[in-house]
Amino acid sequence: MYNAKAYAATSATSPLSSATIVRRNPTESDVQIEILFCGVCHSDLHQVRNEWSGVMPTIYPCTPGHEILGRVTSVGSAVTKFKAGDLAAVGCMVDSDGTCPACKEGLEQFCPNVTLTYNFPDKHLGGVTYGGYSDSVVVDERFVLHVPENLNPAGAAPLLCAGITTYSPMRHWGVTKGKKVGVAGIGGLGHMGVKFAHALGAHTVVFTTSPNKVEDALRLGADEVVISRDANEMAKHAGSFDFILDAISADHDINAYISLLARDGNITLVGAPEKPLQVAAFGLLFGRKSLSGSPIGGIPETQEMLDFCGKHNITADVEVIPIQKINEAYDRLLKSDVKYRFSIDMASLKSE
């Protein structure tokens, strides 16, 4: 075991502050990574503040962060895919059983024995796993990804959650040229959804509550932008969408979006608001519409997404912050004041 520098919260109401955590010494199948950047996901905030207490209660101290990008510093003797000096990344998962039907299909996110990157029982050290708001991490090579060297590292970190979480359902639901696709909520996830829908060739429509994001949405690849609080503007799109990605982090009226779906259209929730949403049955019945959800994505698809981003030069639009600004960044997330992902420069931890 060795000590790593980190930021952690000690309760649902305390700010994140400087902490020391322990990491395991690399085993033969492990990759040790010096973390350069870690994206700030709204899930980090939900978890730190114990907003998902019914499903995943938070164990304190909690070090979040699952958009991890860094350089490999050492590898175990059985590691074949990485060597010291490689650019490498880790997302929301750090382990799974590797033997269940989901794992065999490369859908580790559905493994009953998956280990998430933070706040999950740690098989090696006991206690819980600690995330990427830290200067180093040790992860089994099966859960370490290659990052194309042409991508800007600060902007590539968010691909590990915001990227795969939006790419995966778009691939699953057949987003392609000729489809009309909506993306609701232009934060970290939503802005990646816009980039992917556009890159996949769909007619892309953004729904936002923030009039000051309209110009950016067009720049990100939207063909049209709708202010979702304007009922008249919404009504113009009634019954016309093949697919809508709902990436909204807070309570909202999902029925307003269901009414915009065409027959057999689908709306997929990737946003995970604290409180249950109310769904009117008739909105789905008429038109045989479907409502579904999607969690992150499997390791093979995450690598596919990173390679797709390398080829199309896609990264997140980031505001790089020192770790000392993390509590301020959380406050801004709650005001939808993010353009469009905070990415923590981990060099800032050195002064702690």
Q: Return the residue matching tokens 């907003």.
A: 51
3-class state of residue 289 by DSSP:
coil
Shortest distance in whole angstroms from residue 28 CB to Zn ion = 30
Nearer to Zn ion, 47 or 259 (CB): 47
| 158-177 binders of ligand NAP (CB under 6 A) | 161, 165
- Distance, CA of 138 to CA of 27 (rounded, Å): 9
43 lines the binding site for ligand NAP (CB under 6 A): yes
Q: Are 45 and 26 in contact (CB under 8 A)?
A: no
Binding mask 295-324 for ligand NAP (x = CB under 6 A): xx----------------------------
Q: Distance of CA 352 to CAs 44, 283, 346, Å? A: 21, 53, 11
Q: Are 246 and 267 in contact (CB under 8 A)?
A: yes
**Judged by CB under 5 A, which of 41, 94, 181, 217 binds Zn ion?**
41
225 lines the binding site for Zn ion (CB under 5 A): no
Q: Is the peptide bond before 340 cis (omega within 30 degrees of 0)?
A: yes
Count of residues touching ligand NAP (by CB under 6 A):
31
Shortest distance in whole angstroms from residue 346 CB to ligand NAP = 19
**Judged by CB under 5 A, which of 35, 40, 43, 308 binds Zn ion?**
43
Q: Return the residue matching tokens 């503040």.
A: 49
- Tokens coding 104: 């065999």
Alpha helices in 223-280, H assignment, sequence order: 231-235, 255-258
Which region among 96-104, 170-178, 288-296, 314-322 touches ligand NAP (by CB under 6 A)?
288-296
Binding mask 117-146 for ligand NAP (x = CB under 6 A): ------------------------------
| 45-64 binders of ligand NAP (CB under 6 A) | 46
Q: State the DSSP string of 172-188.
A: HTT--TT-EEEEE--SH
Q: Return the residue matching tokens 């949403």.
A: 277
Nearer to Zn ion, 75 or 89 (CB): 89
- Distance, CA of 138 to CA of 324 (rounded, Å): 23
Binding mask 149-178 for Zn ion (x = CB under 5 A): ------------x-----------------
Which region among 37-45, 235-243, 275-283, 304-312 touches ligand NAP (by CB under 6 A)?
37-45
Nearer to ligand NAP, 75 or 344 (CB): 344
Shortest distance in whole angstroms from residue 301 CB to Zn ion = 16
Nearer to Zn ion, 186 or 202 (CB): 186
Of the candidates 345, 43, 26, 31, the residue with the CA atom closest to the CA atom of residue 164: 43
Q: Are 310 and 334 in contact (CB under 8 A)?
A: no
Which region among 2-10, 78-86, 258-266, 271-279 touches ligand NAP (by CB under 6 A)?
271-279
3-class state of residue 219 by DSSP:
helix
- Tokens coding 173: 């639901």
Chain centroid to CA 261: how far? 25
**Judged by CB under 6 A, which of 113, 255, 303, 336 binds ligand NAP?**
336
Residue 213 interacts, among Zn ion, ligand NAP, none and using kind-specific CB cut-offs from 5 to 8 Å, with ligand NAP
DSSP H/E element including 300: helix 299-312
Residue 250 interacts, among Zn ion, ligand NAP, none and using kind-specific CB cut-offs from 5 to 8 Å, with ligand NAP
Give all strands (DSSP E) within the chain, no chain letters: 2-8, 17-23, 30-40, 68-75, 87-90, 93-95, 115-116, 136-140, 145-146, 180-184, 203-208, 224-227, 241-246, 261-269, 290-293, 318-322, 341-345
| 181-220 binders of ligand NAP (CB under 6 A) | 185-190, 208-210, 213
Q: Which residues fall within 8 angstroms of residue 102, CB to CB, at 6 or more apart?
A: 96, 108, 109, 110, 111, 112
Q: Which residues bind ligand NAP (CB under 6 A)?
A: 41-43, 46, 161, 165, 185-190, 208-210, 213, 247-250, 252, 270-273, 294-296, 333, 336, 338
Q: Which residues bind Zn ion (CB under 5 A)?
A: 41, 43, 161
